[in-house]
Chain A
Amino acid sequence: MSNMPSKTLLRVDDITMAFGGIVAVANLSLTVETGEILALIGPNGAGKTTTFHVIAGVHKPTAGRIFFDGQDITFYRPDGRCRSGVARTFQITQPFQELTVEENVMVGSLAQHRSIADARKDARRYVEMVGLSDRANVLAKGLSTGQRKRLEMARAMATRPKLLLLDEVTGGVDQKSIPGLIELVKQLRREGLTLVIIEHNMRVINELADRAIFMNRGQKMAEGTPEDVMQRPEVVELYLGEELQHG
């Protein structure tokens, strides 16, 4: 992305998300440039997932605006945002239990295709891309955690997004399969996708992210290159120290 003229794909403008008295996100602003991978980091309860929910339309922000690809999408419903080009995965995976892996991905393909047969053909590509071809006809409820994370990615990719939000794809996944997931994300970026990733795994952040934003108690505390952000004293104190202690 260094020699590409940078163009802002997503602009989150001063959003606040309050649930009753709990302010989960407070006056957060951020931008995502086309083609980059931005990492959102921070301790548990920092408001990272809530930020994703607001970008994807699950929650309407209490205040603030969201611009995507030149449009104000603040009041779009989630399905409308999907059609605009925003896709996401869920931290707690949400497979369609009674559908097969392939059918799960077909749901993502539906909007792109007239017939169910075309959607099926299309879905196969994404199932293969995430390495689940041998499980294509298994019901989603029979998948392991790692496989579910991959399924979420395939489903989201099948909607042909411009922006993909990945919420802890490596969370709860065994160490062996992390390199495969990193490779998969790299491949998505090579295909021209812009990504925002929520991650706790430092190795993953260092390998993937161009930029990182550190959040704490709903607020943005630091922003910069991953190396830079992780050396900030407040980040070390509030987040990394704790991580180191817990191993």
Chain B
Amino acid sequence: MFEPLRPWQWLLVAITLAALAALPLLSSNSYVLHVLILSMIFGIFASAWNLVTGFAGLKTFGHHAFFGIGAYSSALVALHSGLSPWLTIWIAALIATVAGLFIGLPILRIRSMPHVAIVTLGFAEIVRITISNLQSITRGELGLWGIPPFESFTLPVLGEMKFTPADKAGYYYLILVLLVFSTGLITLLMRSKSGLALVAMRDAEDAAESLGVNLTRHKLLVFGVSAFLVGLAGAFFGHYIGILTPSAAVGPDLMILVIAMALVGGLGTLSGPLVGALVLTCVVELLRDLNDLRLLIYGAIIITVVMFLPKGLATLGPLVRRRITYLRAPTTSPAKHL
């Protein structure tokens, strides 16, 4: 991960991006776009959670708090101040960052991971119940509606970018840009000196600290960056869906879905959470008509992947490649012993 990218990797990224950018030109099917938009929202969420848990090893289960804080902050600020959602999504992301640092601080002192898990989960429940009870502001479970959509604008080649339920191309391109931003930020962070320090901290905290890694600074850094990105995804979600309820925007099942995405895709990898988000969002949508059977099939898929590919779908490529090279050259040099 800390090696420079190889040409074929750059090529793969470029092809994927080109295909994603071209898609709305080929199909304006708004259902397909809707599924992809959701996949990308979850892609940002899962990647940001993976940054904290997969890369830095802090087992937090309360990231849906930041999603909800982002969603409600952006919606409420836009509703009451009249500021454009183009601005309020960033304000909301910053509010989520502050919340991230706020919960990050006490977590720094806890070395036992089960405790970290409980504290973060509890924090998210507090956020959900608060939003639910502040009915005069958030309308509670009745739902906050009338959230202003993004204003449309005109692009040279693509024409006018509209943000309406019927025409989803604008939302699609916006979330694609946010996804590229988020993935770029996480990739840069992980490939920097801090990225190496984070993985070291995950694998052996005492050793990392003895080698000069400032644990406090690094834990706050990942918590801040991660909460920022999740808040941003939540803010976009609110303006996209147009209505927010505490259970949809801060419900624990949201967190469980995102954890499943990161696990199925591959925890501690850069592409895993993105792959997992796409696969599971599609699965959820495809199974929507099956009602009760849905959860069963959904669970079975997750278990199958986790059983046969414990490190996730993202490791499928390297695994196949290794098999091939192994078949080509079955004699490996015997490991040299000390």
Contacts and interface: CB of A to CB of B under 8 A. Distances in A.
A37 B21 CA distance: 64
- Give the interface centre of A79, A103, A173 by most chain B CB atoms within 10 Å: A79
Contacts of B2: 103, 106, 116, 120
- Give the interface centre of A78, A87, A95, A104 by most chain B CB atoms within 10 Å: A78
A99 B199 contact: yes
Contacts of A120: 2
B268 A156 contact: no
Interface string A73-95: 00001110011000110100011
Contact of A146 (B206, B211, B215, B338): B338
B212 A110 contact: yes
Contact of B336 (A79, A111, A134): A134
Contact of B209 (A78, A103, A110, A150): A78
Contacts of B206: 58, 78, 90, 94
B69 interface: no
Contacts of B211: 79, 82, 87, 107-108, 110, 155-156, 158-159
B221 interface: no
- Give the interface centre of B192, B202, B204, B214 by most chain A CB atoms within 10 Å: B204
Given A83-B212, A96-B207, A156-B211, A116 B193 contact: yes
Contacts of B197: 107, 110
Contacts, number: 96
A116 B212 contact: no
Contacts of A83: 212
Nearest to A112: B212
A79 B215 contact: yes
A245 interface: no
Interface in B204-240: 204, 206-215
- Give the interface centre of B200, B206, B209, B268 by most chain A CB atoms within 10 Å: B200
A71 interface: no
Interface string A38-67: 000000000000000000101000000000
Nearest to B4: A117
B200 A96 contact: yes
Interface in B139-193: 191-193
B338 A116 contact: no
A27 interface: no
B200 A99 contact: yes
Interface in A108-142: 108, 110-111, 115-116, 119-120, 131, 134-135, 142
Contact of B212 (A79, A99, A103, A134): A79
B204 A96 contact: yes
Nearest to B214: A79
Interface size bracket, B side: 20 to 34
Interface string B27-53: 000000000000000000000000000
A6 interface: no
A116 B191 contact: yes
Contact of A94 (B196, B207, B213): B207
A230 B199 CA distance: 44
A97 interface: yes
Given A103-B196, A116-B191, A144 B337 contact: yes
Contact of B208 (A98, A103, A107, A131): A107
B182 to A, nearest CB: 22
B338 A150 contact: yes
A135 B335 CA distance: 9
B203 interface: yes
A65 B210 CA distance: 19
A147 interface: yes
The list of the 10 closest CB pairs from A to B, nearest first, reads A94-B207, A146-B338, A94-B204, A96-B203, A82-B212, A78-B209, A111-B212, A107-B200, A108-B211, A96-B200
Given A95-B203, A103-B196, 9 more contacts: A95-B207, A99-B199, A106-B2, A107-B196, A110-B197, A115-B193, A116-B193, A150-B338, A180-B338
Interface of A: 56, 58, 77-79, 82-83, 87-88, 90, 94-99, 103-104, 106-108, 110-111, 115-116, 119-120, 131, 134-135, 142, 144, 146-147, 150, 155-156, 158-159, 173-174, 177, 180
